[in-house]
Amino acid sequence: MARLAKSIKRWRREKIGDTKLQLAIIKEVLLQLEMAQESRTLTDQELDLRRRLKIRSTGLAAIEKSRIRQKSRLTYIRCGDANIKFFHIRASARRRKNYIHCLQIDEGMAFSYEEKEKVAGDYFRNHLGTSAQRAMTLDWQSLGYTPRDLSELEVPFIREEIKDTINSMPSDKAPGPDGFTGTFFKACWAKMTSRQP
């Protein structure tokens, strides 16, 4: 395996080379060509060189991105296999990050789940839904504001509105993060309405 790894590294060095260095050189040459284009018209050879360098830079950027992704995976796999504790720490990091260890209150600190729940509930109960008297307000009429009746926004949806909305959706696009497309919703709507009496 060690000989194979050395052979692959040698092959990469000979066939591909240092992609970072090549990419830096290409960017520099492209910059020089663009600066030259501002003061004069580029020749056909320079335009062809610029076109080929742009194609090459795109390819090198893809190779570099793939190499970095592979390198990160290999490091993660190697560390995970060699150190089970490291693997479990990584796996439970999100839960630890989102966990609230304690809350500070007037009497001290709240550590237990019940105490933290009570502190949070009391805090939001005292701050949400309470109205304070304002010292100043806006004169809406002098600003030209006309109040509108928005009570219809609170009316429950009717079946026809839902059907019209689903039928107006693009079939090949997903309206939400779940990935279901308009075709899925239309097919489900048709099946759901065919089952109901």
Looking up tokens 């949806």 gives 157
pTM: 0.33
What are the tokens at 162? 């839902």
DSSP state letter for 154? G
Dist CA 99 CA 115 (whole Å)? 15
Which backbone phi and psi does 110 adopt, to 5 degrees? -105, 120
pLDDT tens track for 55-88: 988 888 888 777 766 665 555 555 545 556 665 6
Check residue 164 and give its pLDDT. 92
| Residue ranges covered by each domain of the chain | 2-91, 100-127, 158-195
pLDDT tens track for 113-163: 888 888 888 888 887 876 777 788 888 888 888 888 888 888 898 889 988
pLDDT tens track for 98-125: 778 888 888 888 888 888 888 888 888 8
Q: How much is the average pLDDT of 174-197? A: 79
Higher pLDDT, 16 or 136: 136
The β-bridge partners of 110 are 103
